[in-house]
Amino acid sequence: MINIAIVGVGETSYSQRSGMSPQALALHAIQRAVDDAGLDVSVIDGIVPISNSIPAEDVISNFNLPHVGLSATLRIGGASAVGSLGLAATALQTHRCRYVVIYIGKNGSSGERMVQRVSQLPGYQFRRQLEEPFGWGTPLQWYAMMCRRHMELFGTTKEHLARVSLTMRKHAQNNSHAQMYGKPMTREDYYASPMISDPYQLFDCCLETDGGAAIIVTSEERARDLRKRPVVVSGWGVSPPQSPDDLTNRPDWNSIGLTKAAPDAYSMAGIGPHDISALMVYDCFTFEVIQQLEEAGFCGRGEGGPFVASGAIEMDGQLPVNPHGGLLSEGHMTGLNHLIEAVRQLRGECTSRQLPRLQFIGVTGWGNLGDGSMAILRRDHRG
Amino acid sequence: MNRTILPDINHPDFAFFWTKCRDEVLTVPICQQCGRKRWPPRPICSACHSPDYTWIEIASRGRIYSWTVTHRNMVPHSIQPTPYVIAVVEIDEPRDTLRLLGGLWETPPEIVHLNMLVEPVFVPVNDVLTLPFWRPVQRRHVIACESPVR
Ligand SMILES: [Zn+2]
């Protein structure tokens, strides 16, 4: 089996109002990723649009790509970016493709909002018939309910949620690309933000974002001849939760897709959680960080709140999380920005927020009603 | 603009449930092969995969499994004004786990707690649709049952 590596990353600026089409955002990001790798765009022969991004055909037409061996999209929402590495690996290992682009371009803030995408999610008939009539119909409300149960069972507190939000905002102050760069937040600001659906206030929620992001994936062997130091995908896992089309009757709410995806990723990489130097967590909302830290094995179930409160996820903590500020403070690029940050950290390109002594970086994804994914990235040994 | 989303009472998988709500009875599908009750309604039994089922009345009593208090109206709206409480209610059934999503009717958010006992309250929305909401089990009912001489 061949190893795969990420060889190029690119993104547009992230904003609340891009003034550009999703097509333009995606195409610009792809061009930057290709340039970053030192490739000509015509070598791209595998196309993986993330979730609700513009279709592969738009990319093929715009770049006039001569040959495309595979185009496919995983429909697992925020778990798709990391999960797509698995798809790319399959395409590369069967030699169906040589260079795969994974991308997104969207006006998530000024265009179609999350609430309009719910109808494309699994089990929508249950949402539409049994849940929306009671005013329960957005991911924010679903996850607020999961958070509340965790609080009742384990003693997780609003202060724990605040700590996640404050940490992400603090990290964003070292990232001029982040939407919250130059906008520090105090604990008072957090608690003063509008209550949306208890326990979630505005600052428990990620930033709906306009922008584009892309990465280029190829075999580790080809990667060594390219411009940048390759970042190898050591392991990956993708898993649905139990009853992935219905949260209400899921037997155990503590168990999520990541509960299975993480062990798959560790086992493929031949490492465990203690080997991970830093983690990019899919921080769609504050509690989801706490739950994923637990389910990916960085602390015991129910211990995520105290783990966060100990300062463990800070830049100088035992497990720095999202140095770029994450979805909460950099922007919501459906997790592709987490992969990009992991690559730049492993290359040593992160200047003022560069983490020292990195070996393995974990990246998680979370989508729909708890679909999970995890990738483990490392530097190329010979790089 | 009314942004409440009402169920389609003619949807083949759910029609029976809504019909019985008008009679103030909660029902779920029960598998005719293995006898398991299931929710939400699915065309086949997830346990034995039999497509044969009928509907059965369930206990009109449950416990709060979790809840959220929605302060800002999103899409869709509830028929209740904000802030409103939405809860997952685990029905008191001996064998099968059955949880229904519903609103708490005229219930102050501050009294809601995990495992709180609730009972259905059937709220007619129009001539053909009744929505099952929930409310804390009324204290006087409990006392009336426990000490009939009171
Ligand atoms: Zn059965």
The rounded distance, in Å, linking the Cα atoms of B102 and B130 is: 13
**B147/chain A closest Cα distance in angstroms:** 33
Is residue B1 predicted with pLDDT exceeding 90?
Answer: no
Q: How far apart are the CA of A50 and the centre of ligand 1, in A?
A: 37
Q: Note which residues in 233-292 of chain A have CB less than 8 A from chain B.
A: 246, 248-249, 251, 253
| Amino acid B73: pLDDT | 86
| Amino acid B145: pLDDT | 46
Q: How far apart are the CA of B51 and the centre of ligand 1, in A?
A: 8
**SS3 state at A147:** helix
Q: How far apart are the CA of A128 and the centre of ligand 1, in A?
A: 25
Is residue B4 predicted with pLDDT exceeding 90?
Answer: no
pLDDT, greater one: B119 or B149: B119
Per DSSP bridges, beta strands A360-367 and A276-280 are parallel
- When CB atoms are compared, the residue of A132, A145, A146 closest to B76 is A132
Tell me whether residues A140 and B6 touch, CB distance under 8 A.
no
Tell me whether residues B88 and A145 touch, CB distance under 8 A.
yes
Query: What angle do helix axes A286-295 and A158-172 make, rounded to 10 degrees?
Result: 100
Nearest CA in chain A to B123: A134
Q: Tell me if chain B has a CB within 8 Å of the CB of A145.
A: yes
Short-list A279, A257, A282, A382, CA closest to A332: A282
Domain boundaries, chain B: 15-136
**A193/chain B closest Cα distance in angstroms:** 12
Which residues in chain B have their CB less than 8 angstroms from residue A138's CB? 74-75
Q: A129-143 in b/e burial notation, b at 16+ Cβ within 10 A?
A: bbbbbbbbbbbbbbb
**SS3 state at A72:** coil
Residue keyed to tokens 């100088």: A316
| Amino acid B150: pLDDT | 34
The rounded distance, in Å, linking the Cα atoms of B102 and B134 is: 7
Tell me whether residues B40 and A137 touch, CB distance under 8 A.
no
Residue type, A122: P
Residues 6+ apart with CB under 8 A from A316: none
Tell me whether residues A149 and B114 touch, CB distance under 8 A.
yes
The rounded distance, in Å, linking the Cα atoms of B96 and B117 is: 18
The rounded distance, in Å, linking the Cα atoms of B51 and B13 is: 12
CATH of domain A4-111+207-379: 3.40.47.10
Q: For residue A264, what are its two tokens?
A: 């798959």
Kind and range of the H or E element at A190?
helix A187-192
Is residue B148 predicted with pLDDT exceeding 90?
Answer: no
Which residues in chain A have their CB less than 8 angstroms from residue B114's CB? 149, 152-153
pLDDT tens sequence across B126-144: 999 999 999 999 765 554 4
Tell me whether residues A132 and B5 touch, CB distance under 8 A.
yes
Contact B1, B36 (CB under 8 A): no
**B144/chain A closest Cα distance in angstroms:** 31
> Maximum CA pair distance of chain A?
58
Q: For residue B21, what are its two tokens?
A: 């709500």
Tell me whether residues A148 and B102 touch, CB distance under 8 A.
no
| Amino acid B139: pLDDT | 66
Q: What's the pTM value of the predicted model, to 2 decimals? A: 0.95
Per DSSP bridges, beta strands A4-11 and A210-219 are antiparallel
* Ranges of residues in chain A whose predicted pLDDT is under 70: 112-117, 382-383
Using an 8 Å CB-CB cutoff, list residues of chain B that contact chain A.
4-8, 11, 13-14, 39-40, 65-80, 83-84, 86, 88, 97-103, 109, 113-114, 131, 133
Tell me whether residues A130 and B109 touch, CB distance under 8 A.
no
The rounded distance, in Å, linking the Cα atoms of A145 and B99 is: 14
The rounded distance, in Å, linking the Cα atoms of B67 and A320 is: 32
| Amino acid B2: pLDDT | 64
CB pairs under 8 A between A and B: 118
